[in-house]
């Protein structure tokens, strides 16, 4: 999303149809959360001690990365990190950066575009295969542009081999906005790829004949999964639609459900639980407005369109999404971790009985835009800071 000057407020979905009432309810609910749950993690929940910033040690593992965007752990504990400008680096367990790997394809590093997310194959231990999503130079009807594309490659000690582009979105546009490009594998080894609406073409998010504003599901070779909901259509890879710019996707560690998080416009950032063939509403329904203040839609609900599990209004510009699972911060098991670009913090959403409860903010004093968040093999939390001199941060207790 583009920058917004509004303050951080959180809320759950309102239950009214009219936008003015919905937004009033949202603000009232948001104030309650803001007052009691967003004080640097200082809120006490019952009798248990709630972890605060004073309990957390922040260690800089690496710096000098150019707008790091995505990361993925290898089985041996090394970390692959992408740089939006076009690089992929390997960070060893002892904190040494490899330098940019060789044979990485060229990217269109324009505005939000470039080398974006990265993931390892579910069978990496036997095939050394990785996947990465990036903005690739393309053209439509003879006009140049770029599209979100996914390539797979074999990872070697020095670089990549056998680079193969397995998917390219047909949303080819000559701008640098709303690529999506987050990746996640489910238990069946299906790959989910998030696609943005490319900003100019928001209405196309409702058109299931193309990839604008969609989340797609493919096999590891790039083919569409056989039971995809629109398998006989022009865009058989589509799994869900009606999205704006999805900057986080993860798999629930217990249920296996796919969860996704997207940027709204000015307000209306969302977390959704994805369902096959479901319509998540953008831009027909939204809790946000245009950056100018103009109304995009006067509706927040409509039959046949899903409500978000949680939304933020005003926006926090969330990026990176994962569930915490580990022993280091065991009090957080099952909770959601997201990064906030706009308000420069790590945010934890407490989950109880499958519903969002209190929210907590951490590491705000670092004043760093948090682009991605992952949980490491030992339960430590890893963050990427989005800056020309970007860092890998490790949070321990």
Which are the catalytic amino acids? 178
CB 29 within 8 A of CB 358: no
- Alpha helices of 38-186 — where are they, by DSSP H? 124-127
- Alpha helices of the chain — where are they, by DSSP H? 19-37, 124-127
Distance CA 132, CA 165 (A): 9
- Give kind and range of the element (H or E) at residue 70: strand 68-73
Listed in sequence order, the residues at least 6 apart from 157 whose beta carbon sits closer than 8 Å to its beta carbon are none
Distance CA 45, CA 50 (A): 6
The two three-digit tokens of residue 56, written as one number:
């957390």
What are 282's strand-pairing partners? none
3-state secondary structure of 314: coil
What are 355's strand-pairing partners? 352
Give the burial class of 2: count Cβ atoms within 10 A of its Cβ; 0-12 exposed, 13-18 middle, 19 or more buried: middle
CB 33 within 8 A of CB 11: yes
- Give kind and range of the element (H or E) at residue 168: strand 160-168
């Amino acid at each position: 999303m583009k920058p917004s000057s509004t303050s951080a407020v959180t809320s759950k979905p309102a239950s009214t149809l009219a936008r003015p009432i919905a937004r009033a309810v949202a603000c009232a609910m948001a104030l309650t959360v803001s007052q009691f749950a967003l004080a640097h993690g200082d809120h006490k929940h019952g009798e248990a001690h709630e972890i605060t910033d004073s309990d957390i040690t922040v260690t800089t593992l690496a710096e000098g990365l150019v707008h790091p965007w995505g990361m993925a752990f290898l089985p041996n504990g090394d970390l692959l990190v992408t740089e939006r400008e076009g690089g992929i680096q390997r960070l060893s367990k002892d904190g040494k950066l490899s330098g940019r790997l060789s044979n990485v394809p060229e990217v269109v590093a324009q505005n939000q575009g470039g080398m974006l997310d990265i993931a390892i194959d579910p069978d990496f231990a036997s095939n050394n295969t990785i996947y990465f999503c990036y903005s690739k130079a393309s053209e439509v009807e003879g006009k140049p542009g770029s599209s979100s594309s996914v390539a797979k490659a074999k990872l070697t000690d020095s670089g990549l081999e056998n680079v193969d582009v397995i998917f390219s979105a047909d949303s080819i546009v000559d701008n640098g906005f709303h690529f999506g490009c987050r990746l996640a594998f489910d238990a069946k080894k299906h790959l989910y790829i998030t696609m943005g609406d490319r900003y100019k073409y928001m209405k196309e998010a409702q058109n299931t004949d193309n990839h604008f504003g969609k989340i797609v599901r493919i096999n590891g070779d790039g083919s569409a999964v056989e039971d995809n909901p629109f398998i006989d259509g022009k865009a058989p890879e589509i799994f869900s639609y009606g999205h704006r710019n999805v900057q986080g996707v993860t798999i629930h560690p217990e249920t296996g459900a796919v969860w996704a998080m997207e940027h709204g416009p000015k307000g209306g950032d969302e977390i959704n639980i994805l369902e096959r063939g479901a319509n998540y509403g953008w831009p027909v329904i939204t809790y946000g407005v245009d950056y100018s203040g103009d109304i995009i839609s006067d509706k927040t609900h409509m039959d046949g369109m899903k409500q978000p599990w949680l939304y933020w209004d005003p926006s926090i510009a969330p990026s990176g999404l994962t569930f915490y699972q580990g022993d280091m911060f065991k009090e957080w098991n099952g909770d959601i971790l997201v990064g906030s670009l706009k308000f420069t913090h790590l945010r934890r959403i407490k989950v109880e009985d499958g519903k969002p409860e209190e929210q907590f903010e951490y590491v705000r004093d670092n004043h760093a835009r948090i682009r991605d968040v992952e949980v490491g093999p030992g339960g430590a939390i890893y963050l990427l800071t989005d800056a020309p001199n970007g860092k890998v941060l490790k949070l321990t207790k």
